[in-house]
Amino acid sequence: MKIEDFLTREEYDVVSAYSPGFSRKPKLGKSPAILAVDFTYSFVGDDVPIQESVKKWPKSAGSYAWEAVRKAKLVIEAARAIPLPIYYTAAPSELRSSVGFGSKTRREGDDFGAVTVVEELAPKGPNDHVIRKIYPSAFFGTNLASELIKERIDTLLVMGGTTSGCVRATVVDAASYHFSVALVSDAVFDRIQISNLVNMFDIRMKYADLVTTEEALAYLAQISPPR
């Protein structure tokens, strides 16, 4: 199902007028990096229906997230083979703030110890980097932008969760820094599926291109190894 299935003809005309690039082919650069947002146990959970996963991991997306994990693994393996830099985000284990971001969903006894990337995607190579963040965007309060500039990155392939939260915030900031951004649409996840669809639609209309895993792999196959 696509968000276009929910649009009226009038709304589609409005989208076409507002965003000429909505239906264009992705415009991606020659020096990409992978940005894997919050593929951690606390947000991914167990590979079971979400109703079961949240019993152990209250903030998780269960099988929705694991569908994205399996797609993201293909992209990450292709990027490592080139090799390209891969940036993972995760919260620091000492996060304990009770105000500001996160206060609405935080509960007594929350455990931020499970902030490691799931084993299937775990960083393991010299080009794999973990960015510790305490806010939605991977850029806010981190050195990510300076790292990307140092590596002369012009394009980001973004995957992870949640689409309506940390992924969206990260994409907005990436676009604000003038990176070309492609959201890998079948490698992102959210707890609520209408949130996933609507936010991918907004991102496509305003900030980034959407590509499938298959399209991302075809793009990476054309990339020359960094010098």
Q: Is residue 19 part of a domain?
A: no
- Domain CATH for 79: 3.40.50.850
What confidence tier does 113 reach under pLDDT thresholds 50, 70, 90?
A: very low
DSSP per-residue letters across the chain: --GGGG--HHHHHHHHHH-GGGGSPP---SSEEEEEE--BHHHH--SS-HHHHHHH-TT--THHHHHHHHHHHHHHHHHHHTT--EEEEE--TT----SSTTTTT--TT------SBPGGG---STTEEEEE-SSSSSSTTSSHHHHHHHTT--EEEEEEE-IIIIIHHHHHHHHHTT-EEEEEEEEEE-SSHHHHHHHHHHHHHHT-EEE-HHHHHHHHTTPPPP-
Q: Is residue 41 part of a domain?
A: yes
Q: What is the spatial distance between Cα 142 and Cα 3, in angstroms, rounded to a whole number?
A: 33
Range of the domain at 190: 30-96+111-220
Average pLDDT over residues 87-107: 64
Residue 8 near residue 190 (C-beta atoms within 8 A):
no
Q: Are strands 155-161 and 32-37 parallel, antiparallel or unpaired?
A: parallel
User: To the nearest whole percent, how much of the chain has pLDDT over 90?
Assistant: 74
What confidence tier does 75 reach under pLDDT thresholds 50, 70, 90?
A: very high
Q: Is residue 140 part of a domain?
A: yes
Q: Is residue 168 part of a domain?
A: yes
- pLDDT over threshold 50, residue 112: no
Q: Is residue 8 part of a domain?
A: no
Q: Which residues of 33-57 are buried (b: 16+ CB within 10 A; e: fewer)?
A: bbbbbbbbbbbbbbbeebeebbeeb
Structure-model confidence comparison of residues 106 and 27, the more confident one:
27
Average pLDDT over residues 191-212: 94
Q: What is the CA radius of gyration of the chain?
A: 17
Angle at which helices 193-206 and 168-176 pack, to 10 degrees?
Answer: 10
Predicted pLDDT at 80: 97
Q: Is residue 9 part of a domain?
A: no
Residue 140 near residue 101 (C-beta atoms within 8 A):
no
- Give the total number of structural domains in the chain: 1
What confidence tier does 109 reach under pLDDT thresholds 50, 70, 90?
A: very low
Q: Is residue 225 part of a domain?
A: no
- pLDDT over threshold 70, residue 100: no
Q: Is residue 46 part of a domain?
A: yes
- pLDDT over threshold 70, residue 94: no
Predicted pLDDT at 99: 45
Average pLDDT over residues 53-74: 97
